Amino acid sequence: MPTVVIANLKSKSIHCDDKRESLLNILLTSTDWMHACGAKGRCTTCKAKILNGHHNLSERSKAEEQYLKLNKLQEDERLTCQTYLSGDVTIFAPKETQLSHLTYSD
């Protein structure tokens, strides 16, 4: 059962039963996470910085490759709506996508 830890949200841990769900859907079972385009890969507001567990993530989608080329996504960032898990991962909510009603440590 993969676990997602959000390092800068009090190390919140989310356990997921269904690996077919996107990382965004897993996050939304337990917290709020920005996703302005409705998980269509048309914005970057759902991005997360990956601290650990890169090898437990699906290949980058075409949308992610495009945003990488445009420098709107960094090498250590993924679009949570385009990413699927095969194991544990630790992520970080970037400053620019943090929600004002949640309390982040960084």
Interacting residues with ligand FES (CB under 6 A): 35-37, 39, 41-46, 79, 81
Nearer CB in complex with ligand FES: 27/79: 79
Q: How far is the CB of 67 from ligand FES (least distance, A)?
A: 8
Q: Give SS3 for 33.
A: coil
Q: Is-contact 53 24, C-beta < 8 A? A: no
Q: How far is the CB of 42 from ligand FES (least distance, A)?
A: 6
Nearer CB in complex with ligand FES: 39/51: 39
Nearer CB in complex with ligand FES: 74/105: 74
Q: Is-contact 23 80, C-beta < 8 A? A: yes
HEC-encoded secondary structure of 40-69: CCCCCCCEEEEEECHHHECCCCHHHHHHHH
Nearer CB in complex with ligand FES: 1/72: 72
Q: How far is the CB of 63 from ligand FES (least distance, A)?
A: 7
H helix or E strand, kind and range, residue 25: helix 23-28
